Amino acid sequence: MTAISRSWNRLTLPGKVIFTVVPALVVLTIGLVVAIAILGGPALDLVVANLPIVRFVVAATAILLMTIPTAFLIIYMEMKGIALMNLRIGPDRVGPFGSLLSVVHGLKVLMKEDFTPTGADSVVFTWAPVVVYLASVMTLLVIPFGPGLVGQHFQLGLLYFFAISGLSVVGLLMAGWASFNKYSLLGGLRSAAQVISYEIPLVLSVVGVIMLAGTMDLVVIVENQAGWFTDWYIWQQPLGALIFFIAATAEANRTPFDLTEADSEIVAGFATEYSGMRFGFFFFAEYVNVFIISALTVTLFFGGWNAPFPWPWPITLDLDPGSLGIGLLFVVALVPLALTLILATPFWLVSSRIKGWQALVIGFVLANLFLVGAVAAAGYIGFDWVAGLAWFMLKAYVFVFIFVWMRGTLPRVRIDQLMNFAWKWLMELAFLNIFITAGAIILIKYLNPEALP
């Protein structure tokens, strides 16, 4: 008990909030499910009557909960990926291949001293990271993770996305101002300038896609890219995609545009006075942002949750485990056991150094993998949303890897080079893209009236 109370005392206020709210949410969800199961009818009727609200609450909870493991995973990917590119090993000791390191980092960030500088506007100071974090995370509400898996289906999804992500500028300025540090203020102004400069090419580059799809609805955009990978918008909007990618990198403060958070620049950065969980919020916001812009890139240009090839034949998997009756119990009990033994035997036979129990452990692990794989495959084939989600995540993480790759390769640009690039090059190219796209659409419509919607 004292171990728990001691750890509790070590947490800062945001840590205490998180460690109360998140378990509470989990308990609430479980409680809801149990209530539905036990009480049955009345609870279910209540839920159905308020379905939109329930749906929204579930979506919001899921998104908030999802961001933290995502951030952990991306942080780990980044540390490991950049290390491997630098011919180092990277995190190695904490957990298998160092995978638990980012979790430990998260806990560390919770335990650090959380102070507010003297003279800082404490309300603004406290809320700035929250604004930045929410501005990033709220945009996840409109991204389609799979067919039917979208937080809220807006027809103006893309507009909502850019509007909300623009709020992060407010957060940056709040951070810079409330730090009561003139260098932080200047740093905050610089990063705000960077973000808003690149918003324009970002939005303009997407106009081409909007013209092609005819709508700002992200779900419709993804559905338009169904079929073979040649249907993806990347082939129809290469320049737009390129501009979008570069502008999105700058929006997310990633290399090569990360001078606001670079180690040598951090003294003049907006986050200088932040420590502990407040800084943790900025940190998480940035990594979630990376995921979000990868997700958006995938959604807009690379087919979203579509597989690169259309599923050639319709498959219905009529799995009805319930029909086995009591046999189901035997299957559940015996199949893992049998699999373990079957998979353990070759290992035990092949080498005398592998003792019996070691072979059994290996067999057990492999059996688990096999079963999980089988369930996943069944889900993939049986439910289209599983397949969609899988492809979406795969593609999004490929882009996350590209961001990590860029960070490990490219040098940083200066602030003047950055602004130059945004205003003198990207914006012009984005306009050019719009004109070319519009011209092409008109031309094609003229030549072939039925081709485009």
Partner 1 sequence: MSFVPGLGIVKGMAITLRRFFEPKVTIKYPEESPDVAPRFRGRLQLLYDEWGTLKCETCFQCAQACPIECIDMGGIDTRGRYHVHWGPPETYGERREESALRRSGRPVPDRAFHHFQPVDLGAVDTILDEHDHDPKRMLEILEATQSAYGYLPVAALKQISQKTGAWYAMIYGTASYYGHLRFEPAEDAAQATAVAAARPPDASYVTALGAALGGANGRPGARGRS
Task: Give the residue, chosen from 25, 36, 54, 85, that forms a contact with partner 1 under the rule CB under 8 A.
Answer: 85
From 77-85, 106-114, 231-239, 391-399, span contacting partner 1 (CB under 8 A):
77-85
Task: Give the residue, chosen from 7, 50, 86, 155, that forms a contact with partner 1 under the rule CB under 8 A.
Answer: 86
Q: CB of 421: closest distance to partner 1 in angstroms? A: 11
- When asked if residue 239 is in the footprint of partner 1 (CB under 8 A), the reply is no
| Sign of the torsion angle spanned by Cα atoms 190, 196, 200, 203 | positive
Task: Give the residue, chosen from 22, 362, 406, 419, that forms a contact with partner 1 under the rule CB under 8 A.
Answer: 406
Q: CB of 394: closest distance to partner 1 in angstroms? A: 18
From 3-11, 139-147, 341-349, 401-409, span contacting partner 1 (CB under 8 A):
401-409
The CA distances from residue 450 to 54, 61, 231, 233, 447, in Å, are: 42, 44, 17, 19, 9
Q: CB of 84: closest distance to partner 1 in angstroms? A: 5
* Residues whose CB falls within 8 Å of the CB of residue 206, separated by 6 or more in sequence, listed in order: 158, 162, 240, 244, 300
- When asked if residue 417 is in the footprint of partner 1 (CB under 8 A), the reply is no
Whole-angstrom distance, CA of residue 419 vs CA of residue 36: 56
Task: Give the residue, chosen from 4, 38, 87, 326, that forms a contact with partner 1 under the rule CB under 8 A.
Answer: 87
Whole-angstrom distance, CA of residue 428 vs CA of residue 439: 16
Nearer to partner 1, 45 or 92 (CB): 92
- When asked if residue 49 is in the footprint of partner 1 (CB under 8 A), the reply is no
From 80-88, 324-332, 342-350, 354-362, span contacting partner 1 (CB under 8 A):
80-88
Q: CB of 259: closest distance to partner 1 in angstroms? A: 17
Task: Give the residue, chosen from 13, 84, 329, 377, that forms a contact with partner 1 under the rule CB under 8 A.
Answer: 84
Q: CB of 253: closest distance to partner 1 in angstroms? A: 18
Whole-angstrom distance, CA of residue 271 vs CA of residue 171: 11
- When asked if residue 409 is in the footprint of partner 1 (CB under 8 A), the reply is yes
Whole-angstrom distance, CA of residue 22 vs CA of residue 28: 10
From 53-61, 79-87, 158-166, 352-360, span contacting partner 1 (CB under 8 A):
79-87
Lookup: tokens for 239: 């320049």
Nearer to partner 1, 136 or 249 (CB): 249
Task: Give the residue, chosen from 10, 88, 108, 355, that forms a contact with partner 1 under the rule CB under 8 A.
Answer: 88
Q: CB of 88: closest distance to partner 1 in angstroms? A: 5
Say how far residue 124 (Cα) sits from the centre of its chain: 27
Task: Give the residue, chosen from 364, 405, 423, 431, that forms a contact with partner 1 under the rule CB under 8 A.
Answer: 405
CB atoms within 10 A of CB 229: 15
Residue type for position 247: A
Whole-angstrom distance, CA of residue 431 vs CA of residue 204: 7
- When asked if residue 92 is in the footprint of partner 1 (CB under 8 A), the reply is yes
Q: CB of 94: closest distance to partner 1 in angstroms? A: 14
Whole-angstrom distance, CA of residue 78 vs CA of residue 76: 5
* Residues whose CB falls within 8 Å of the CB of residue 98, separated by 6 or more in sequence, listed in order: 76, 79, 80, 90, 91, 92
Q: CB of 408: closest distance to partner 1 in angstroms? A: 5
- When asked if residue 227 is in the footprint of partner 1 (CB under 8 A), the reply is no
Binding-site string for partner 1 from residue 2 to residue 21, where x marks contact by CB under 8 A and - marks none: --------------------
Q: If binding means CB under 8 A, how many residues of this protein chain bind partner 1? A: 13
Pair 204, 433: CB distance under 8 Å: yes
- When asked if residue 81 is in the footprint of partner 1 (CB under 8 A), the reply is yes
Q: Tokens 């209540």 belong to which residue?
A: 46
Task: Give the residue, chosen from 408, 412, 413, 419, that forms a contact with partner 1 under the rule CB under 8 A.
Answer: 408
Nearer to partner 1, 246 or 292 (CB): 246
Exposure letters 412-447 (e unless 16+ CB within 10 A, then b): ebebeebbebbeeebbebbeebbeebeeebeeeeee
- Least Cα distance to 128 among 164, 176, 162, 165 occurs for 176
Site for partner 1 in 361-400 (CB under 8 A): none
Cis peptide before 256 (omega within 30 of 0): yes
- When asked if residue 117 is in the footprint of partner 1 (CB under 8 A), the reply is no
DSSP state, residue 150: -
For 385, half-sphere exposure in the C-beta direction (CA atoms, 13 angstrom radius) is: 7
Binding site for partner 1 (CB under 8 A): 81, 84-89, 92, 405-406, 408-410
